[in-house]
Amino acid sequence: MRPVYAISGGVSKFAKARPDKTFQAIVKEAYDYAIADLELDFPSFTRCVDGSVASYFSDHFTRQLMAGIMVQDYLGLVPKPGHRVEGGGATGGLCFQEAWKSVASGHMDVCVAYGFETMSRVETWKGNEFIALASDVSFDYPVGGFYSGYYAMMVTRHMKEFGTTVEQMAAISVKNHLNAYHNPYAQKRNRYTIQDVRDAPMVAWPLTRLDICVMSDGAAAVILASEDGLRRLELAGARIHHPLVQVVGIGRGTDAMRMADRPHLDYDTFMRDYATEQERNSDETRTYYRHLWERGTRYPGVHSFRAGRTAGNMAYKMAAIHYPLDDLDFVELHDAYTSSEIQTYEDLGLCRYGEGGPFAVSGKAFMPGIEYGLDLPEAPECPVNPSGGLIACGHPVGATGLMQGVFAIWQLQGSIARHFGDDTLQVKDPRRGAIHSHAGTGTYVTVSILEKAD
């Protein structure tokens, strides 16, 4: 595998509805931005790019099969190679990694990953029905298929086993909405209090409307290149931004579609197959986990995402990350629910299983320099979802994982102020960040690590 650089990206404005444009034209907004950021004109980039990967989740939302080729066509990329990937909420993350593979393998030198979703074409509750069809239609959907309900069940178990509280979840909503206040691409830019989150309409107990991301129309695009690709682009007149951002690790995991089918593994199996390197090397942590198991915890059950842990461990190994909280300077993770941000802290080893709730209110995952109106006992260590995440940016499914990639590139380039018109969300001198994309109840999860290369 050869080095792959994430050199540019673009994000359309995420909004509740974008009837002003077709999905192809919304993708072009993001695509054109990514090209313009290289200071290239459209025909020059078309000559340089070898192919593409397209990302969108649901054919139902567009009522259009083969939407991917319609974007390829609109962007003037035909007859170059391309294909569509789909894996629920992780579609964007999978797309990013497929584009990485195209370049890392030597098959392409310049590859563009683009993605979109236009979810406003149906009413919200019909949209929820489409999303719920991403659960087993024989056994799960007919019982009352509703994704917010599925995640709510998972978190009631997390609360029961680990003592996680609704206020800890609400703190994440406060954090992500307030971060997004400084992100012009975000759909929801609001200051909330813990009480506001709890007073919002109950959707699926204990998750309120402010614990849950919203449906969106939007698109994102990321351009990846090899060293040969960089030279080709520069010869065509591109201005390659430095520091270069390299994709140094990718990981992916899966789990059973029906969360009821997931195993309840013993301590030894957990430590052997799923513990992070940091956890395995700590006597204190091994003792901590042994106590959890003595109290009845089993892994992953429905309280944890085994796919997320698998993806994280794989990406960390490739990127030589040993202590995730210390070695990562920021994380953009899939917070479709405040509860899943807590669960993902644990999956990614930012804290131990069972400690996601206290971690959420410790202050470690917050941005420095923002007054959240919360009493946070510790200083920020690794901001999580500095962009505002899905909860505040919106979740146009096929675009989301790529949006994370774009924001990660801009963080590592140090160019947040240029793109946001505000440097509040610029993490100070970051060296390495992770992006995390997640499909329904943790069926597919991707983790990719991006790092400054020079």
Which residues of this chain interact with another protein, rule CB under 8 A?
Answer: 19-21, 63, 122-123, 125-126, 128-129, 131-132, 137-140, 142-146, 148-150, 152-154, 156-157, 159-160, 201-207, 256, 258-264, 302
In this complex, which beta carbon is closest to another protein, that of residue 28 or of residue 232? Answer: 28
We find the least distance from the C-beta atom of residue 114 to another protein, in angstroms, to be: 22
CA-to-CA distance for 276 and 116, rounded, in angstroms? 33
Q: Which of 157, 113, 99, 115 is nearest to 26 (CA)?
A: 115
CA-to-CA distance for 377 and 42, rounded, in angstroms? 50
Q: Sign of dihedral through CA atoms 171, 174, 180, 181?
A: negative
CA-to-CA distance for 314 and 434, rounded, in angstroms? 12
CB atoms within 10 A of CB 91: 29
We find the least distance from the C-beta atom of residue 414 to another protein, in angstroms, to be: 37
In this complex, which beta carbon is closest to another protein, that of residue 135 or of residue 187? Answer: 135
In this complex, which beta carbon is closest to another protein, that of residue 154 or of residue 186? Answer: 154
Torsion of CA 429, 434, 437, 438, to 10 degrees: -130
In this complex, which beta carbon is closest to another protein, that of residue 105 or of residue 124? Answer: 124
- What does DSSP assign to residue 115? E
In this complex, which beta carbon is closest to another protein, that of residue 97 or of residue 156? Answer: 156
Q: Which of 35, 296, 10, 353 is nearest to 164 (CA)?
A: 353
CA-to-CA distance for 241 and 254, rounded, in angstroms? 35
We find the least distance from the C-beta atom of residue 304 to another protein, in angstroms, to be: 12
β partners of residue 432: 451
- Residue 183 phi, psi dihedral angles, 5° rounding: -115, 110
In this complex, which beta carbon is closest to another protein, that of residue 97 or of residue 148? Answer: 148
CA-to-CA distance for 331 and 349, rounded, in angstroms? 12
Angle between helices 338-347 and 166-180 (to 10 degrees): 100
We find the least distance from the C-beta atom of residue 253 to another protein, in angstroms, to be: 15
CA-to-CA distance for 242 and 239, rounded, in angstroms? 9
Q: Where are the alpha helices (DSSP H) in 90-165?
A: 91-104, 124-132, 141-144, 147-162
In this complex, which beta carbon is closest to another protein, that of residue 67 or of residue 180? Answer: 67
Question: Are the C-beta atoms of 362 and 377 separated by less than 8 Å?
Answer: yes
We find the least distance from the C-beta atom of residue 400 to another protein, in angstroms, to be: 21
We find the least distance from the C-beta atom of residue 308 to another protein, in angstroms, to be: 18
In this complex, which beta carbon is closest to another protein, that of residue 160 or of residue 291? Answer: 160
We find the least distance from the C-beta atom of residue 301 to another protein, in angstroms, to be: 8
In this complex, which beta carbon is closest to another protein, that of residue 139 or of residue 323? Answer: 139
We find the least distance from the C-beta atom of residue 186 to another protein, in angstroms, to be: 23
β partners of residue 444: 254
We find the least distance from the C-beta atom of residue 101 to another protein, in angstroms, to be: 27
